[in-house]
Structure 1
Amino acid sequence: MHKTVTGSIISANISSMGKKRYGYLGIVTTDNEHLKIKITAFTNFDTLDVGATVTFELESVGDESLLTAKKITSSI
């Protein structure tokens, strides 16, 4: 399943391993829905800063209910 949402980053639990970043973001969408988003080594992003308004291109892998970010772009 692919999904595109716009929202604000409200929390970040991101770690670095070499030049890659991994972890999770908490976001609130423009529809006031709260989501937990997984960040992987393959996620392309402009920013991961808390408070930033961004557009997420998301997908779920297999039967996982957790959404994985494929691309995060600034929505300023």
Structure 2
Amino acid sequence: MSDAPHNPKLDDRPGSNTEKDPQDWVSGDEPMTGAQASYLTTLSEEAGEPPPKEDLTKAEASERIDALKGRLGR
């Protein structure tokens, strides 16, 4: 057996950091980004919903994006 440190890049089934709950994000309570606002506006228009509030947090915007994508089948 090797004494080399564990390298997670070599794991057969590495964990994912892209699946973190938005409510657990360190920056989740910061204002949504311009990209999020733009994407939310586009998705809202396609779903026939009013555009997003401008005071959403990053976490709230992410959750709304996921919900709209689900409704639109994306």
What is the TM-score of this pair, normalised by structure 2? 0.24
Q: Quick check: which one's helix share is greater?
A: 2
Q: Quick check: which one's strand share is greater?
A: 1
Larger radius of gyration: 2
